[in-house]
A = this chain, B = another copy of it.
Amino acid sequence: MKIGFVGLGNMGGPMVHNLLKAGHALSVYDLNAAAVATAVAAGATQASSLRELVAGRDVIITMLPASAHVRAVYLGADGVLAHVAPGVTLIDSSTIDPDTVKQVAAAAAQHGNALVDAPVSGGTGGAQAGTLTFMVGASAAVFEQVKPVLAGMGKNIVHCGDTGTGQVAKICNNLLLGISMIGVAEAMSLGAALGIEPKVLAGIINTSTGRCWSSDSYNPFPGIVETAPASRGYSGGFGTDLMLKDLGLATEAAKQVKQPVLLGALAQQLYQLLSQHGSGGLDFSAIIGLYRKQAD
């Protein structure tokens, strides 16, 4: 397939490499010259504008930081929709608000293009290993069409429903994740303060009704899960500021539909407190630091 790819950051860069490895022809666009050079060295073609990028492509993929960038790239005066041929499929893998997806998709539909929202989970590790999960919002027909492309970058390609539902799936999952992690932090901290051995407590939780990914695979208490960020000073992993961004999307989407999310909003504020105190770059499981008098 001839693919145009916009956005060569920590996620987009490795995704491009995996698409090249899968045998696709790629033109790429990014304002960061070094990132472009890396992609070109791996076999991609540099496009000097979005107009150039979209020329002769079957599929356009975007991987951008936030809604404003997605709007600019697709809807800008010199953006994708101004130049792309009708019929070309557009895949946005950015994590953004469902409202923006719907607006861009409506503009794309008017122009004769299907827009697919396909946000990912799995982080930079998954992007590099090609094991990302894609949560895909698209009609059934378009989903079947994009699935092989996405399979070049990920392991689980999940159809969530029509356009927009990919974002909904991602922000709902991460809303729950953000809450669960704090729940585990509170349970582990309370247990430690009351004198139970943390490893024993985690073992009980993991085989009981408190069982969850945040406890059994990513426990925030140091020394429980060897591969978790908690066991290496909370470096790497899923940054607190990224969790903040996703919780911001969740509470904002909830506001649009007047849906209360009480624990979610409080969780957002707690990560905000952590970030304000200078730990926005640490893995989000560092939230347990708020609950403990001193480091372990």
Contacts and interface: CB of A to CB of B under 8 A. Distances in A.
A169 B196 contact: yes
A187 B195 contact: no
Given A173-B210, A208-B173, A253-B190, A293 B276 contact: yes
Interface in A120-167: 121, 133, 135, 156, 158-162, 164-165
A205 B173 contact: yes
Nearest to A173: B210
Interface string A20-38: 0000000000000000000
A195 B165 contact: yes
Interface in A170-225: 171-177, 179-180, 182-184, 186-191, 193-197, 200-201, 203-205, 207-215, 218
Interface of A: 98, 121, 133, 135, 156, 158-162, 164-165, 168-169, 171-177, 179-180, 182-184, 186-191, 193-197, 200-201, 203-205, 207-215, 218, 244, 248, 250-251, 253-255, 257-270, 272-273, 275-278, 280, 290-291, 293
